[in-house]
Structure 1
Amino acid sequence: MNVQMMMALCILVFMVVMLLTHKLPYGVTAMICCVLFVFTGVLDLKTAFSGLSSSTTLMIAPMIVVASALGKTSLIHRLRGVMGKLQGKSGLLLIAGMCGMTILLSQLMGQVACISVMLLFIQTFDEDSEYAPSRLLFLVATINCLATSKFPIGMGATMPGTITSYYQGLVGPEDYLCITDFFKAGILPLIVGTIYCVLCYRLIPNGSFDKTQVKDVKDAAPISKKDEYMIFGVFAVIMLGFMFTNQLGSDITNVIPSAGLLVLIVFGVLEIPEVMKTLTCDMVWMVAGMSVVSTALSKTGVGELIGQTVLNILGGHPSGLFVSIVFCVACALMTNFMSNMGTMALMSPIAASTALAGGMNVKAVVLCCCVSAWLAFVMPTGCSGTMMAFGIGNQNPMKTLKFTLPLLALTLVALIIGINIFFPIYG
C-alpha cells in the first residue's frame, strides 16, 4: 500500500464518520474531502474540483430548480382540493386515497414539504377514532419513504443522476443509471408496501398527537397561466430529452435542463434570488463532491481494494441472489440508524467497487443499496419524514415494530425479486 492509498483511505474514513454522524451538512463534508485530496497530493486541483463542472452536476443542479418550480403551479392546489373531498370518506377508500395522494406529492416535493401538506389534512381527525392523527401521520411518512422520487417526474427525475454521481468516477458511462432505472428497481417494493399499508394500517399504534408542532403550510402565491404553461412546457421538453438520450447524445441531454432553466429566468417565470438559492443547496455540493471521491478511489486503487475485500467476505464468486440479499439487508439496517441520503452516498461506491471486482452488473448492486436506503421507516433516525412522524405523533419505536418489521421484510423481498428481474446481478 503506497502513500496515496493511505491518504485516500484516511480521507475516506473521515467521510464515513461524517456521513454516519451527520455532524456537518453532506455537501460540506464532500467539499472538505475535495480540499483534503489537494492538500495530501492525492488529486491535483483541477481533478479535485472537477465535480463542480461535471456533466452530472450540470444536469442535476438546474433540474432541481425546474422540478421545484412545479410546486408553484396550480397542480399542488388541485391535489389539496382532492384531499378535501376525502374528508367525508372512511374505511379503505380513505386510507387508499391518502396513500395515493402521498405518492403523488412525494414526486413533486421533498419529504418535509410533502408531510407538512398532508398534516393539514391529518390533524382534523378525531384522536380517539380509528383514524387518529398520530396513526395517519405515521402511515403517510411510511408511504413517503417508499414513494419518494420513484417516478421519473419532478424531483424523481434527479434521483438517477444523483445516485450516479456517488460512483461515476469508478465506472464508464455504460454503467450510469438511466432515467427510469430507479423507478424499475423501486416500483415492486412500492406496490407491495402500499398494499400492506392500506390493509394493515390498524397495526400502527395511536400516539399522542402534538398539534403545537404543526406549522401552517400556506399555498404559494398564484402565478399566471402563461408562467404555469411555461413551467409545464419546459419540464415536458426536459423529460422528452431524457427519453431520447440515445438519439440526441448525452451532451445535449445533460444541458437541456440548463437551457430550460434559462428560458424560465429570461421570461420572468423564476426570480434570480430563488434560483441561486436552489443552485447552491447542500444537495448540489454533495453531488459535486461525491463524484470526486469516487474518482479518487479509482485513481489510487482504494476502490479496487474495497471491492476485493467485500468480495472475499461474500465468498469468491457468490450467487446473484446472495449478493442482492446481502446489500439490500445491510443498507436497510444502516439507513434506519443513519440518514437515507448518507447511506446512499456511503454505500454506492462500495457497491460499485464490489461489482467491478466480481464481474457483476454495477447498476444492479448500486440499486440494491439505493432503493433499500429509502426503507427508512423503522427508526426515527432514518430520515426527516420518519423523524416528524415519531416526534409529532409521539410514537414509540418499539410499539411500531409490529407494523414496520413485517413491512420491512415484505419490501425487501419485493426489492430483491425486482432487482433480479430487471437487473440480473450477473446480467
Structure 2
Amino acid sequence: MEMYIVLAVTLFMMISFILHKVPFGVTTMACCLILAMTGIMDVQSAFSGFGNKIVVLIAPMLALSSVLTKTSLVARISSVMNTIKGKRGMLLVASFFLIGAIFAQFIPTTAAITILVVFLSTLDNTGDITAKRVLLPLLGVMVAWKFRFPIGLGASTFATVNGMYEGIIPNPEFQLTMLDPFIFSIPAMILLTLYCLFFWKLMPRSEEDIDQSKLKETKKAEMLSHGQEVLVYAVFAVVMLLMMLNKWTGNMLYLAPGLGVLILIYAKILRVDEAVKGMTSDMVWMIAGVLVVADALGKSGAGNAVGNLILRALGSNPSSLTVMLMFSAATVVMTTFLSNMATQTVLIPIAASVALAGGWDPRGIVLIIGTCNYFALGFPSGSGEAAVCFAAGGYNPVKVLKFTFPFMIVAILTCAFTANVMYPIY
C-alpha cells in the first residue's frame, strides 16, 4: 500500500506542476503533508527538505544573485548597445546576440528580454534586419546560454538537478559536479548560437513594429556606490572560488553563498527583507518538497516500479544513443508547451527511476533534461520569456515554425550526442 500512496502523491505532483494552477511550492508542500498524514514519513522526515544541503546552497544563492541587478553591470552593457544600435549587418545581429548571452548569465530572461527589446525597437522596418525578425532568434540564443556559466545561479544548477534524483539514486558516484552542466552545455551553446546567427532570416518578414505595451514593466533597481560594487564583486568572486574548489573546501561549497549574504547584509548593501524574499521564494519551497518526494520514491520502491515499466517499453538493452535521443526529444517537446521547471521536475525523477531499473549511469540523461528544459521557443506557454516574445512580436507559432522547428532539432541532436559522449548509460 505504501508504494501506491507514494505513486499517487507523485502523480498528483506531476499533474499539478503541468496544470500550474498554484505555485510549485504549494504543490510540493501539499505532497509533504500527505506523506506525513498517511504515515509514509514522520513529520520530521516529511519536511526535512528545508535542512537539505541543496536548499542550504540554493536559497542564499537566490538572494545573492539579486544584488547583481543593483550594480552598474547592466548599465554598462546597455551603453554598449547604444553604441551599436545605429549599425547594420551581421555585426549588429551578432552584437545583440552577444549582449543577450551575457545578460542571460545574471538576469532572469524575461527581464533581460524586456531590456533588450527597447534597443531592438530602434530598428526600422526596412531591409532584412527588423526587430520582429531578430527578437525570437535573440530569445533562442538567450535560452541556449541561460545560467550556463558556473557563476551566480548557474553555479547552483548541479545542486538543483542532483536534489531531484538523489533520493532515488543516492550513490555519490552518480551525482553531478559543479562544472558538469556547464561543460555539457558548451556544444549546444555554440551550435544553437550559430544556427540563430546564420538562419535568423528564416523568420517571416513583417512591416509591423514590436508592441512594447505587451512587455512587463521592470522596476529600476537602486544602484550601488562604487565602493559597494567593489565589495559585491569581491564577495561574488570569493563565493564562486570556494564553490569551484569544493574538492579542497569541502562543505564550504554549500555554506559559501550564506556567508556571502551575511557579509552583504552587515555591510548594508543587501537589506534583510530583500534577502528574506529571495531565500523564501517559490523555488526554495518547491525544491525542499521535491527532495522529500524523491526520497519517498526511492525508499518505497515506487521509483523502481516506474523505471521497470518504462524500461519494458524501451525494449531489452536499448542503445545508449537511443535512450539519449528519446529523453532529449521528450524534454524539448514537453518544455515547448509547459514551464521549464515543471518539465525538469517531472522528468528527472522518471529518468532516475528508469536508470536505476536498468542499472544505467543516470548523469547523461539528467544533464539532458536539466539543459533541454530551457529550450522553450516554439510556443508562448513554454516559459515567461516565450510568452513575452510571442506577445511583443505578435508571432503566429505556425508561421515561425520554419525557424523554431530546426532550432529544436539541433537542440535535441546536440544534447543527445553530447550526453552519449560524456556519460553513456552503459
Report if TM-score (shorter chain) is over 0.5: yes
Residue 42 of structure 1 and its aligned partner are, at CA, apart by 1.4
Deviation at 1:126, TM superposition (A): 1.6
Q: 1:181 to 1:78 in 2, by over 3 A?
A: same
Q: Do 2:214 and 2:388's aligned partners in 1 also have CA atoms closer than 8 Å? A: no
Paired residues, what number? 423
Residue 213 of structure 2 is matched in structure 1 by 212
**Match for residue 186 of structure 2?**
187
**Counterpart of 1:221?**
222
Match for 2:178: what amino acid? Answer: I
Alpha-carbon shift at residue 206 of structure 1 (Å): 4.0
Map 1:10-409; keep pairs closer than 5 Å. Answer: 10-172=8-170, 173-206=172-205, 208=208, 209-214=210-215, 217=218, 219-249=220-250, 251-409=251-409
1:388-419 residue CA offsets vs partner (Å, 9 max, x unmatched):
11111110000011001111111211111211
Question: Partner letter of residue 121 of structure 1?
Answer: F
- Deviation string for 1:266-318 (max 9, x for gaps)? 11110011111111111111111111110010111111111111111111221
Query: What code does the residue aligned with 1:255 have?
Result: L
**Secondary structure, aligned partner of 2:165:** helix
Q: Distance in 2 between matches of 1:94 and 1:121?
A: 11
CA distance in 2 between partners of 1:339 and 1:222 (Å): 32
Aligned amino acid, residue 304 of structure 1: N
The 8 Å contact of residues 311 and 358 in structure 1, kept in 2 or not, is answered as: yes
CA contact (8 A) 2:164 2:345 kept: yes
What secondary structure sits across from 1:381 in the alignment?
Answer: helix
SS at match of 1:116: helix
- How many angstroms does 1:384 deviate by? 1.0
Q: Give unmatched runs, 5+ long, in structure 2.
A: none
Q: Distance in 2 between matches of 1:37 and 1:154?
A: 34
SS in 2 for 1:119: helix
Cα deviation, residue 211, structure 1: 2.6
State the partner residue of 1:8: 6
Unpaired segments of 5 or more residues in structure 1?
none
In the TM superposition, residue 79 of structure 1 has moved relative to its aligned partner by 0.7
Identity %: 36
- TM-score (structure 1 length as normaliser): 0.96
Instruction: Supply the distance in 2 between the matched residues of 1:284 and 1:218 (Cα, whole angstroms).
Output: 23
1:215 and 1:164 mapped to 2: Cα distance? Answer: 33
Secondary structure of 1:399's partner? coil
Q: Which runs of 4+ in 1 moved over 4 A?
A: 215-219
Residue identity in the other structure for 1:413? L
Moved more, 133-142 or 253-262: 133-142
